[in-house]
Structures are given as C-alpha cells and as structure tokens.
Amino acid sequence: MSPLSLPLAAAAPAGTPPHTGGLLLLIDGTAGLLTVAAIGIALLLFLIIKTRLQPFVALLAVSIAVGLMAGLSVTELFGTVQRSDAVSTIESGMGGILGHVAIIIGLGTMLGAILEVSGGAEVLASRLLNLFGEKRAPLAMGLTGLIFGIPVFFDVGIFVLAPLVYAAAKRSGKSILLYCLPLLAGLSMTHAFLPPHPGPVAAAGLLHVQLGWVILMGVVCGVPAVLAAWAFSAWIGKRIFVAVPQDMVEAADEAKRAVIDEQRKAGVEPQETPVPLGTVLVIIGTPLVLILAATFSSIALDPSTTRSVIEFFGNPFVALTIALLLAYYLLGIRRGWSRKSLETVSTSSLKPVGNILLVVGAGGVFGAVLKASGVAQALSDTFNDVGLPVIVLSYLISVVLRIAQGSATVAIVTTAGIVAPLLTEGDHSQPFVALVIMAISAGSIFASHVNDGGFWIVAKYFGISERDTLKTWTVLESVLSVAGFVVAAVLSLFV
C-alpha cells in the first residue's frame, strides 16, 4: 500500500491491521476497524430503511465511507488519471463481481422470458395438475413452482402462475393457501438457492466457488427445505381459509389479454398447440446437467481432450447460451416466431435486471473495500475468537441483515463480503464453501415481513390480509430458511 494512505499514522507495529491511521487514530487498530465495520453496517441499514435510499446508492456510499474511515487513500479508493497503474478498489470490486455475474444473470433472464411468453409455465402446471389429480393439486402447484422457478424470477413466477392457482382453488372450494403456499415455496427456494438467480450467483462470484457445487448443494439443501415448507402449507391451509380474490382473477384476465396484445405487437401470435412438456423440461435441465458434468469431470477425470470438451460445454456462460439457443429454436422459430419477435422479448426481459446487477456490483465494491482496508481481516479475527463455526456465523449475519432491511440480495452480497476472509484462511474445500453460500442464502429469506417487497406481492396477488400473510407467508419463509440452514450445517460436518 502507498504511504499516502497513512498520512498521519505512526509506523504500525507488526501484526497491526493495515490502514489504522485514517479517521480513527485514537482507537486501537483492531478495535478501530471493528468500529468502522459497525458504523458501516448501521449506516447501510439507516440509509435503506429510514431514508429509503436505493440499495445500490446506499451500498456505494457506505463502501466509500468505510474506506475513508478505515484509512484508505483517495487514490486507493478511486485511482487517478495521472497514474494509469494505480488500482481503484471501487472499480476492481465492481468489475470483478460483475464480470462473473452479469453474463449468467443476463442469459438466465432471457431464457426465463422465452419460457414465460411461449406458455411453457402454463403447460407445466396444467400437465402436473392433470397428472396428480384434484386431491394432489397442491403438490402439483408446488412442483410447478420448483421447476419453473429455476429460470424465472420469483415475482414473474407469481404473475404467470397465479391464474392457475385461482382456477385450482375455485374448483375445489378450499382455501387458496393450500395451492399458493406450495407454489410460493418452490419459487422461493429456487430463487434463494439455485443459479442462475442473482443471490447464489453473486455469492459464488464473491467467494470463488464453481457454480456446479452451488447447484448441487442448492438441490441437496433446498429440496428438504421445500418439503418442510410444503408440510407447513398443508397444515396451515386447513386452518386459515382465504377465498379466491375475485378482483385479482379479473385483473389476471386483463393482464393476460394485455400480454397477448404485447406479444402480437412483437410479432408473436398465440399458438393453439401447447408447448410439449418434454421440451420445457429439456430446456430447463440442459444448463444444470452441463454445469454439473463439468464440475465433476474436473474431479473424476485426468486432464484430457474429453475433460476439456466437457468443461467447455459445462462453463456456465456456454451452458446457458446453449439453453437459450435451444429455447429460441424449439419454443420460438419452430413455432412460428420471427427473429424480430425473439429480439423484442429478449431485450424487454433485460430491463428489470439493471437494478439487480448494480446492487450486486455495489456489494462487490463493499467486499473489496472491506478487504483492502483491513476491516474484513479484523472481523475475521474477531469472529474466530468468538468460536462460532463460519457456517453458523454466516447464517446469523444474513438473517439480521434480511430482517433489518428486507432485501435478500443486499443481505447475501453484504454477508458474503463480511465472511469472505474467514474462508480464505485455512484449506476450505469447494463443497464446504458452497454450503456456506447455502447458509447465507437461507438466512436471506428468513421472516419476510412488511419491509420486503415479496410480502406485499404475495398479499396482493392472493388476497391475503396483512395479519394472515404474517401467519402464513412469513412463517413459510422462516421454515424454508431454518430447514435449508440445518441441512447445510449438518452436511458441513462431513465435508
């Protein structure tokens, strides 16, 4: 580090964390850095909760404040035009994470949009409902959410599948909770635990884990969690009756007509022949299988041409591109879509992604500043002294951040930045770090309440009162969270 970063500090004794001479000269090195960390997290929560500042701006502002308080120089933070070789912590933090995350999220978003517009979700739900029958319709809705939630964002999944929930609940005359809660559990689990969703992808980039391990541990931890959530859904759905919201049924019909109109404007005519279910499953499963194959080829095979080919096709960028091209052809061109239609649907799907990418990038900046300033090392040393296993600590930090400010993405990227130094010390395997990511992701969905946008989406779409939403959706998320964490923690003892 440049001497300019410590303009007022005396020579630091051996073992003192770096950058302890900034704005905290009167405090002991480690204590000062811990104070900086506490102030930074408190400031982040204040900006997001009280001032309602956009999370990207809040994370960026807090990163700069933490860096300056911890003693980083302006040159270290921002670089300089006079010295082209000066490393900017902010630029390297933003670029480092987005270089890994942006492509995956972008490709996954376009894939989900093609599946949505083509009617793939409706086919999936309808076939499963027919297969399982009226008595097991809640299970069918749960499986629909679990499968369709892999490539599609949580709120989009609700928007597309809510009309099917209305229809199933109306036919049975039972509480809509019996049908919507299993669906929500499936959508929420995949959103929290599985790529290409932003949270697990961002954590994998920040903690340098192969996506194959994240997918594997996401399935291993997520499936038991979602089974526990389905059991809770069946129990609470029989005790709280919520009628089908007629106003939302009418709104869904209007929205569906609006979507059809938009599709026609884009040159996409509704098809009379439904999409084959097998086609939908192949498109969703292709990238997962390719990525997992590449991950395990690096373990099972010696360096060879075969291994190189498997690893090439299993690279997340390549695997998702293949799946997207399959969707373009099988769901689009072969069913009469024009190339212009494909372009329009793909481009429009990327508009909501900008905010997610900026928040993830700002989380990367926060982590880079924590590391460069020595704050992360001070936190690491302190956490080690506490004696809590890193997987437990990761979960607890994520839970606190989630409950405090509501955003799962902010909870994940902030927690990953804080615990990263704990994982660089010692010889932690990729599977173990992937389990830590599962713990972070599990914590990020705990106790969704009124400061979470998902809470209000669920309440609105399914006509549930705020009180009953707290009793049902909030508890459902907590069950998912705790069950997923317990599985991850138990597995970590053997990895």
242 is a domain residue = yes
Question: Is residue 56 included in any domain, yes or no?
Answer: no
How many helices (H) and strands (E) would you count in the chain?
Answer: 23, 0
pLDDT reported for residue 294: 92
Coil, helix or strand at residue 295: helix
How much is the pLDDT for 17? 45
Say if 205 falls within a structural domain. yes
Q: Could you tell me which of 20, 58, 156 has the C-alpha nearest to residue 413?
A: 58
> What is the Cα–Cα distance from 386 to 452, expressed in whole angstroms?
31
* Burial group, residue 356, by CB count within 10 angstroms (0-12, 13-18, 19+): buried
Distances (CA, A) of 211 to 12, 238, 290, 351: 40, 39, 11, 25
Q: Is 336 exposed, middle or buried (0-12, 13-18, 19+ CB in 10 A)?
A: exposed
pLDDT of residue 377: 79
Q: How many CB atoms lie under 10 A from the CB of residue 321?
A: 16
The model's pTM:
0.85
User: Does 370 reside within a domain?
Assistant: no
Per DSSP, 12 falls in state P
108 lies in some domain: yes
Domain for residue 243, yes or no?
yes
Check residue 193 and give its pLDDT. 97
Mean pLDDT by 10 residues, the chain (495 residues): 34 41 51 85 88 90 90 82 69 86 91 86 85 90 94 89 88 93 96 93 92 96 97 96 84 63 62 80 94 88 88 94 94 84 85 86 87 81 81 94 90 90 79 97 94 91 93 97 98 92
Assigned token pair, 353: 């992604």
Query: Do 448 and 455 meet the contact criterion of CB atoms below 8 Å apart?
Result: yes
Count of the separate structural domains present in the chain: 1
Q: Is residue 260 part of a domain?
A: yes
What pLDDT is stored for residue 16 in this prediction? 40
Cα separation, 178 vs 183, whole angstroms: 9
pLDDT of amino acid 239: 95
On whether residue 361 sits in a domain, the answer given is no
Domain that holds residue 332: 95-349
Which residue's entry shows tokens 């300089």? 80
